Amino acid sequence: MTDTATLTWQPTVAPSDLEQYGVAQAVVGGLKVALYAVEGDYYATADLCTHGAASLADGYLDGDLIECPLHQGVFNVKTGEAVGAPCTVAVRTFPVKLQDGLLHVGVEA
């Protein structure tokens, strides 16, 4: 687990941006991330699917699972684990916190 004290927290989007689909895209330090709202908590992963390089922010969120729009592979947004074929490689996750009305994503300094 990453020590959050060594992270740089980057502001992204307001939680309201996740209301319609539960997922939104943001750019953090030049890296595209997908942000998710799941049962009142927030999560972030790298935005690109590890199988087909499609945007996970364009995928379908069902509970804590995001389905890639390209080949329908599935990832757990809390852990990044690939849980549905054809995906086998986990997607990178990032810590998220709500601060000053925006979701902040923690990246290594």
Task: Note the pLDDT of residue 29.
Answer: 85
pTM confidence score: 0.92
Check the CA dihedral 70-76-80-82 and report its sign.
negative
Could you tell me the residue ranges of all domains in the chain? 4-108
Amino acid at 81: E
Would you say domain 4-108 falls under CATH 3.50.50.60? no
Confidence check: pLDDT of 2 > 80: no
Mean pLDDT of 19-44: 95
pLDDT over 70 at 3, yes or no: no
pLDDT at 4: 65
